[in-house]
Amino acid sequence: MCFVCGVENAFGMHARFLDVEGGEVVCLFTPSEQHQGYPGRLHGGLAAAVIDETIGRAISLDEPDTWYVTIELTTRYRKPVPLGEQLRAVGRITSESARAFEASGEILLADGTVAVEATGRYLK
């Protein structure tokens, strides 16, 4: 029933996650009207949820059985995120210790423009 990736959550984002070469995780999602803040725009809190899950999931590339919790998330909103278009979020690990890791990522518009960027710290 995860809001971001849960396919059975009627109001969720129904995001799909892909592991790609180069140590990145890619999230594909299409926000709809039920996800809007201002008309025609994805709510900023939901954008933060998508990028948080995307960059956090980067740990599963090398440690598939590792779960994590967010310690800190810093989000920068660069452009409005439109509804009704398939968008892409990308996440990667930037540093790691035995108990924690740091990661970064972006939400990209259909033309590749960065709409949201974030960095986070996570506890394994």
Confidence of residue 62 (pLDDT cuts 50, 70, 90): confident
Q: Which pLDDT belongs to residue 15?
A: 95
Question: Which pLDDT score, from 0 to 100, does residue 7 have?
Answer: 86
pLDDT, mean over the chain: 94
The structural domains of the chain, ordered by start, are 16-123 (3.10.129.10)
**Residue 50: which pLDDT band, with cuts at 50, 70 and 90?**
very high
Residue 42: how many CA atoms within 13 Å on its side-chain side? 30
pLDDT in tens, 15-27: 999 987 788 999 9
DSSP 50-94: HHHHHHHGGGGGT-TT---EEEEEEEEE-S--BSSS-EEEEEEEE
